[in-house]
Chains A and B, each alone.
Chain A
């Protein structure tokens, strides 16, 4: 369980002792079920910090564009810690400038599913152990947390943060990967026609807002391939060719880099499924090269780590 008092105390301590310049965490948003990221600069502000199943962003995505010399404390769950290790490998951030405050994660709740299930205006939402308590104008309802977990969190292999400076709370053991559901395995069990039809239907809804790109911790290119004009790599219109190219190449650029946090899906205003693509690519990288994203601060992703050891694979 998360010990909020200890977390706030640690945040204000590191700010007061100048271990870090700023702490990145979550605060309550202006709408129920929507927590928002916050940069805390003063020790007294640390009481604003919250942490619950409605904290849907991946905080590592907010590190891009920060000053390179800034010391930053980040409250991180499993996926966020892996994203930051992967960013260190790719030399986007410096490990010495990070102070990782690891917290246990119970999984992020899918607020859209909850509001579909409730079907009317929600005034307040809070968590109580394994329950979610939703307050509407006409009373309270209790929902089981496990039924409203986000799909990415249902199949999360490593909810516990890796290689952190300090861990706060108790960390239960990571789940057994073999027992977890996998969107990629379910998807590949279908016939090719069905797979293409699903992919076509999902991408067809895309409005090219690039919210998935902005929410992704691993998308940090100064100029994305879709924004490039001469030459134009893919159609910029909301046309089948353009949206399909965007979804295929966006996912492909995440091969062996995606931390499977599901922030892209949660950010998508059109509720497009994307994880089944990146899951498959990451699974391939695990099977072929034994590569686990963000496991440490040294290992290059497989597309950057090719060597002559590959020579026997050429004629497979």
Chain B
């Protein structure tokens, strides 16, 4: 029990890292989809 802080810190880092990467890629994909949709809409408008 005296080493609980080490165990808790290791689990926090190990769980936090994939969580960070998941959230980061989610926002990245959302932003890139929005940009792509905007470009496609403009392209379709200029080339009917």
Q: Do A and B come from one complex?
A: no
